[in-house]
Amino acid sequence: MEQAGRLLGLSKAARRHLSPEELTLAAWPAAVGKKAARHTRAVALEGQRLVVEVGDDLWQRNLELLSGQILANLRSMLGASAPRWIEYRLVVPRRPARSEALDPGFRLTAQPAGEDAERIEDPVLRRIYLRSKRKALAS
C-alpha cells in the first residue's frame, strides 16, 4: 500500500483520473510509514486541511510533533496539491452492532457444579474445574 501511495502521487495518469482528495488519502500510508498507518486513517481533505482519525491520544500527540515531516513527505509525493495542515481527530473504536436481538425470556443461570463436571473424564482436571467453579460462583 505504501508503494501504491508513492506511485499514485507521482503518476500523471493518476492525477488526471483521481481527485486531489483521493490522491492525498492514498498517499497517507506512504507519508507516515507502515506502523503509523496501522494506527491512523486519513478520512477527508477539507480545503488545504487533511483530516486524520487516530486510535489513541499517544499516537495523536506523537503525530502532531511529526506533522512538519509528514507534510514534507506529502509535498514530495503530491506537489502543489498537498495539504498545508493536518487535523488529528481522536476516534474511539466502535463495537459492532449486534446482529440478533436477545430473546426477552433469556436469563443466565448457573448449573449445579456437578452436572457439567461429570463430563470431564480425568479426575484431576474434574477436581480443578470444580474448585475454580466454586470460587467463581462465590465471588
Which domains are seen in the chain, by residue range?
2-90 (3.30.300), 109-139 (no CATH)
**Taking residues 83-97, what's their average pLDDT?**
84
- What is the predicted pLDDT for the residue at 32? 95
- Tell me the whole-structure pTM to 2 decimals: 0.58
Indicate whether 15 pLDDT > 90: no
- What is the predicted pLDDT for the residue at 12? 58
Q: If you write DSSP's letter for every residue of the chain in order, what string do you get? A: -HHHHHHHHH-HHHHHHS-HHHHHHHHHHHHH-HHHHHHEEEEEEETTEEEEEESSHHHHHHHHHTHHHHHHHHHHHHGGGS-SEEEEEE-PPPPPPPSSPPPTT----PPPHHHHHTT---HHHHHHHHHHHHHHHH-
Q: Using one digit for the tens of pLDDT, what is the confidence trace for 114-128? A: 677 888 888 888 888
- What is the predicted pLDDT for the residue at 68? 96
Average pLDDT in the chain: 82
Indicate whether 99 pLDDT > 90: no
Q: Which grid coordinates are listed for 67?
A: 506533522
Q: CA-to-CA distance for 89 and 84, rounded, in angstroms?
A: 17
